[in-house]
Amino acid sequence: MMTANKSSSGFYLQWVTEFPPRPIQDEALLRVTQERINQILSRPLNDDVRDYLRVLGMLIYEYEEQIEAFPELTDEERIQALEEDLAH
């Protein structure tokens, strides 16, 4: 069984219960997560809240890296990319 290396004051569990961190799969969840971060930043921060914000930030970073790695292409851009691959 794994245990945390620092004790939680309960704030972290409160935040996780109210808005559980989930992998971001679309723009809608990205916007909701960003709104949640903005709500939290308007309050005083303690270590638990900072940890929770860090988790949400990592999820946003991971999503943004994923969508940048696979940009949306038009059909014309896909065909052009395929043609370039075939030429090499």
**Model confidence pLDDT, tens digit, residues 39-79:** 999 889 889 989 999 999 999 999 998 887 666 778 888 88
Average pLDDT over residues 16-36: 95
Residues counted in the chain: 88
Domain regions of the chain by residue span: 11-87
The chain-wide mean pLDDT, for the chain, equals 85
Torsion of CA 71, 61, 41, 44, to 10 degrees: 180
Percent pLDDT > 90 in the chain is: 47
Predicted local confidence at residue 2, as pLDDT: 46
